[in-house]
Amino acid sequence: MSNTTKEVATFGGGCFWCVEAVIQRLKGVETVVSGYAGGNAPGKPTYREICSGLTGHAEVIQVTFDPAVIDYVAILTVFMTTHDPTTLNRQGADRGTQYRSVIFYHNETQKSQAEEVLKIVQEYYDDPIVTELSELPIFYEAEADHQDYYNNNRSQGYCTVIIDPKVRKLQALYSDLLA
């Protein structure tokens, strides 16, 4: 581990279990916390409230990483190419605003880097990218049973059918970035 200052990134692309499983496998990523952001309901929302779609929150992850090992642009590029950023409020069978593709930037540098990544990865998609780019509002950590979900539940059907293919895609596309 280097002595550099750690950075934090927050984004979502459907179910946070999927995004967490992909991003936590990257070298330089130190922690990944599943949670909620971007809503308008007062107080800390619960998973049940988020699933209703009524709070406006998205399922997101908050990533702490070492920029001397992996930079924000690399993490965003992996994120943008391991989920479908061209479907509005949907990833696979998961539908609703809580499953939207979103990048919540923490500062102006992240905002400009995210804008650049969005332009670059658009070339790889036939349909327009609909990923929301917004300043980070309050981040709420999800309940404990949602943390490290894939690693703790590998034999569950959702993990084998939905998340395993995303992890295999990560391994095929980004083997040089894996921890």
- What is the tens place of the pLDDT at every residue in 99-114? 999 999 999 999 999 9
In a domain, 2, yes or no: no
In a domain, 146, yes or no: yes
In a domain, 154, yes or no: yes
In a domain, 124, yes or no: yes
- How many domains does the chain contain in total? 1
For the chain, the average pLDDT equals 94
Strands 139-141 and 90-91: unpaired
Strands 132-135 and 101-105: parallel
In a domain, 86, yes or no: yes
Cα–Cα dist 116/105, whole Å: 13
Positions annotated as catalytic residues are 15
Say yes or no to pLDDT of 162 above 80. yes
Range of the structural domain that residue 33 is part of: 7-177
**Percent of residues, the chain, with pLDDT higher than 90:** 88
pLDDT for position 3: 63
- What is the tens place of the pLDDT at every residue in 64-77? 999 999 999 999 99
Residue 59's DSSP bridge partners are 36
pLDDT for position 54: 87
Q: Which two tokens stand for residue 10?
A: 């927050």
CATH number, domain of 152, equals 3.30.1060.10
pLDDT for position 93: 83
In a domain, 82, yes or no: yes
Q: Read off the pTM.
A: 0.93
Q: At what angle do helices 108-122 and 72-81 cross, to 10 degrees?
A: 40
